[in-house]
Structures are given as structure tokens and as C-alpha cells.
Structure 1
């Protein structure tokens, strides 16, 4: 049955929060600490939460930590609907194998918690120079080399391995689009999903990651049109963008979904017509990120998502997987 504006799962990202892990703390102490934070999310009107692993490293939680987190979620009345494992590139030099192992552990964690989708990507840790900036995307970080066929093949192979694990667990794997990686353009991201060729592996078309760059960008409409048939999860955020052709100066800044460059009204129309029925995660950088996420959730429910069930077409992820299988 298709989702409507009333029941579509919209999750708050945990990006605005930093978890505290008191040394030697028992399960009760962890539960109190995490319950306090998760209650803030619930108080902002969310029923769903994206367990963004900038808050906690979910793949590394021991049995005590998992029980404490399960209890904290119950205390707040929240459902964990997705996990976003960020900056854990499975092809990062010197760390790819550990990031792959961590991603496998994160999939196991998600299955244990009844979570439907895990988002991973190829973006790597921020550089020291990026961490010094007000907005980290204003200076260049890691780049995947577009002509590195060996690294590309490794990414496909390792994502396919994660996809097989996800399939065994009955959950979805979503690949997050991120600038200057093999998932950094619509054509490259679609090519990767098609090469992986599994119905459990789709895209998280985080177009906000692309339009905030202080450099020439793809038209966001083309990104949405190409990636929509493969979308199974979605980080949504928006940015203002101004370009001065005379000086070459480009400026961007985070803003509400309804106020930025991306027209989410038309973007969601395209996505839903192409079969999107996945979890939506509202993200925001800067200021009161939780309140901005809540305002964006309300905008989606009140003005963007369908009021009546809309039966979308078949996702091209499933169509492609069927062709591969046959």
C-alpha cells in the first residue's frame, strides 16, 4: 500500500547531536544519557529517527550499548527507521577493509533493531582544513579519480557484498550521492547501481550535497530525473545558491527545504512517479538543526507529499535486478 502525507516515514537525522560515552558507565547511565537526547527529537514532533552514526558508532556497540539504546528509543517513543553510516568509504586507502567490516556490523545492528534501510557512501573523513571552515564544503576534500578502474571495480564488488548481506537480512542498502566520489554525479551513481545489479541496492540522491559546492554543478532537475527510478531512501536538505558570472564568485548557505535552489515539490513528484516509497530523512547543518528538520518535515507533510494513496510505477532497481537474474 502506498504511503500518504499522513503516514510517510520521515525521520530526523542525528547530525545536530554529539553522544557522550562516560568511561565505565553502566547500561542505566547510558540509557539516561541517550534518552535525554532522543526525547528532544520526540519533543520536536518526530515519530521516526535516522540513526546517523556521527552520533553513535552503531556497528561498534556492544550488547550493553545496544540494550541501552533500545531502551532509550522506547523511553522516547521513537522508531529507528534508518541508519546512515557516513564517511565510511569501503575503498578508502588504508581503511577500506575496516570500513567494509564496520558496514557489515551496521547491517547486523539494523536487522536486530528492525530497521528497514542502511545508507552508506564513498565519502571519507573531513580533512583538517575542512574542519577549520565554517562550512566544510567550501574547501575541497577527498576525490575519487574518475579514471581509476581498479577502485571503481572494488567499490562495485564491496557494495555488492554488502547488498548480498542486506538481502539475507531482508533490508535495503542505499548508496548516498556525495561530491567528487564515484557517487558524485547522477550518471556515475546510476551506472554503479546498474553494475551492482541487485534489487536491494538503490540510491540515496542527496542532491543537497551537490548543489552547495562553490563550483559549477549539475542541474538538480537532471540529477533527480536520472536517479529517481533508483531511489530507495532520501536525505533531504536545501541550500541557497548565488552565482556571479562576472566575478566567478559562488555562495551557498543552508536553508529551509522550501526556500533553497531545489524545488522539492517537483522533485518528489518525479520520485514518486518513478516508484519511490522509502524513508525520508531530514538533515540540516548549522543553527538549531533539529528545529529546521522539524519545519522541513511539516512542509513535506502539509504541502508536498500526496494526500491520497498514489500507486507508483515499478522501481527501476527492481526492473534491472530482474533483467540481471534472467
Structure 2
């Protein structure tokens, strides 16, 4: 996709527009907009405008600033993402500390059923992570952009308590949490109850990735999960979103889904969120 002709981008984005979306997050697992040269980036922007798609945010994936091999490279890339977000008029970027897929995850039907890369239990590397995210926060503030840190298992943002500790240690007004608790609810292991995670993290909520999973916990200890629409699944997103709104949440949502007609489910998730927001506005 990175080297594709613009017509390929247009075909992909036309499907998003045809599904009724008027905004798109060009997440870098699809296209690294920040690594396009100026001419190609302008072509990309022109395609989005022609399709009526605004870009409120850019998400990154598996480009951790503390990656043991590519950390310096990914830090420089993250700075380019912030600059690109400002150029595109996107007010939000999402960064994470999760690493590349392991070979076992690449082979699995659902990658979260296999153990992924873990952030090391090393105070020096933790401090490096805090320092580098604070550095990005300072840059983001200069550009009028807000950072959201994605919650993800086995990282320094892998539990509610860890995520709150990390964002508190970063201690920068431009750095908030991407409370993507679907990443945790889907794990085939014991996890915190979703209401507890929302209660702890909602005060720090920024740009928010939302998805849901059916989660089954057998008395034998067996745990299984499967992607679900927001309206179904284990997490009560109406309650979660309303709680965040009560605390002043005002950032965009990114709707996600794995499997099946993912784009179609995302469109339904979008409409579900809009009904929640509409009902909230009417009551206000």
C-alpha cells in the first residue's frame, strides 16, 4: 500500500465513504502517511477531500519508541506523525508501546490467543519510555495536537493501574490515554472487570479506539473470546461512554472490528455511538 498508485488508495477509501463515514483515520498499519513525500501526501489529501472524508486523527501500530531494535527510528517516526497530523488538520494521534507480532501470533487465527512481545521489567527502560513520550507530548503541544497512549496487554499500559501510573508519570497535558480496553477483554486469561478499568482510566481519556468481544469464562479456568459488535459483547459501551462524558470527554472515537465484514460492523458501531451521543445531547 505504501508504494501503491493513488487509484488504489482511492478505491480503498471509497469503500469507507460508501459505508457512510465522513471521517477516516489512516492508521499506519494500512498506510504510513507520515512517510509519504510531499507530492504523494497531497495526492492522498486530495482523494480524501474528493470523497468527503476528513482526517481527525492518525493511529500508529507496533512502532514502539522503546523497541529494542528500532526504538530510535520509531521515535523519529513518531515526531513525523505529529507534524503530519498538524499538516492534515488532525488534532489527535495514537501511540502504543506494543511490539511486532511474534511468529506464533502471525500463524494464529486470532493473534491475541498467542503470547506477544512484553515490555521489560526494567526501571531504566520504563524511564526511557516515560521520557520519550513526554518529549512527544512537548512536540504535540507545539503543533496543537493531542497524544493518546493505547492500552495493550503486557506493556507499561497493560492494566488500568499501569496505564494510570504511566500517564501520570509522563505528566504532560497533551498526553492522555486511549482506553482501548477491548485489547484486554479479548485475552484468554484472567483480566480486570471492564467497569473497573473504565472507572480508573476515564479521567485520563483522550482519542479512543472502541471495539467489543464476547468473553466466556468456564469454571474450569478456560477462557475464550470472539469479536462482537459494540452493541453486543461483554463491555457495556453505553455505560462506558456515558461515564466518560460525565467527566468531560470530548475526543473522537475510532471504531474497530476483526473478522467478517469488519467495515460493515464498524458502520453499525458508528451509528450505535451516535445514538448514545444523540440521546445524551437531548437529555442535556
Equivalent of residue 44 in structure 2, options 66, 69, 81: 69
C-alpha RMSD of the superposition: 1.4
Tell me which residue corresponds to 2:263.
290
Q: Deviations over 1:137-183 (max 9, x none)?
A: 000011113x3111110010000000000000011011000011001
Q: Which residue of 2 aligns with 1:50?
A: 25
How is 1:176-187 mapped onto 2 (pairs within 5 angstroms)? 176-187=150-161
Deviation at 1:198, TM superposition (A): 1.2
Cα offsets for 1:38-58 (capped at 9, x unmatched):
111111011111121111112
Query: Among 119, 125, 128, which residue is 1:151 paired with?
Result: 125
Count, aligned residues: 284
Aligned 1:310-325 pairs, distance under 5 A: none
* Cα separation, 1, equivalents of 2:278 and 2:178: 18
Equivalent position of 1:299 in the other structure? 272
SS state at 1:158 partner = helix
Q: Counterpart of 2:167?
A: 193
Question: CA offsets per residue over residues 205-233 of structure 1, 9 Å max, x none?
Answer: 00000000000001111110011010011
Partner SS state of residue 48, structure 1: coil
Which residue of the other structure, out of 53, 62, 74, is the alignment partner of 1:87?
62
1:35 deviates by 1.5
Aligned match for 2:3, one of 2, 11, 21: 21
Q: TM-score, normalised by structure 2?
A: 0.97
Q: Following superposition of structure 1 onto structure 2, how do residues 122-133 of structure 1 map, counting pairs within 5 Å? A: 122-133=97-108
Give the counterpart of 2:179 among 200, 205, 215: 205
The 1-side partners of 2:14 and 2:54 are apart by 12
Contact 1:48 1:80 in 2 (8 A): yes
Match of 1:267 in 2: 240
Q: 1:303 Cα shift?
A: 3.9
Residues 1:113 and 1:310: Cα distance change in structure 2 (over 3 Å): farther
List structure 1 segments (4+ residues) > 3 angstroms apart after TM superposition. Answer: 303-307
Structure 1 residue 309 displacement after superposition: 7.0
Contact 2:2 2:32 in 1 (8 A): no
Question: What is the alpha-carbon distance in structure 1 between the residues aligned to residue 223 and residue 168 of structure 2?
Answer: 34
What do residues 208-267 of structure 1 show as CA deviations (whole Å, max 9, x unaligned)? 000000000011111100110100111000000001122x21110001101100000110
Q: CA deviation at 1:310?
A: 7.9
User: 2:180 aligns to what SS in structure 1?
Assistant: coil
In structure 2, the partner of 1:236 is: 210
Work out which structure has the larger RCO, using CA pairs closer than 8 Å and 6 or more positions apart in sequence. 1
Q: Is residue 130–residue 140 contact of structure 1 (8 Å, CA) maintained in 2? A: yes
Secondary structure of the 2:281 match is coil
1:235 partner SS: strand
Give distance in 1, aligned partners of 2:77 and 2:275.
38
> Equivalent residues in 2 for 1:31-50 (5 A)?
32-50=7-25
Distance 1:110 1:310, change over 3 A: farther
Give the match's secondary structure for 1:194. Answer: helix
Shift of 1:65: 1.7
Aligned residue for 2:56, secondary structure, equals strand
**1:106 maps onto 2:88 in alignment:** no
Check whether the contact 2:231–2:237 (CA below 8 A) recurs between aligned residues.
yes
Q: Deviations over 1:72-101 (max 9, x none)?
A: 101211001110011111111011111101
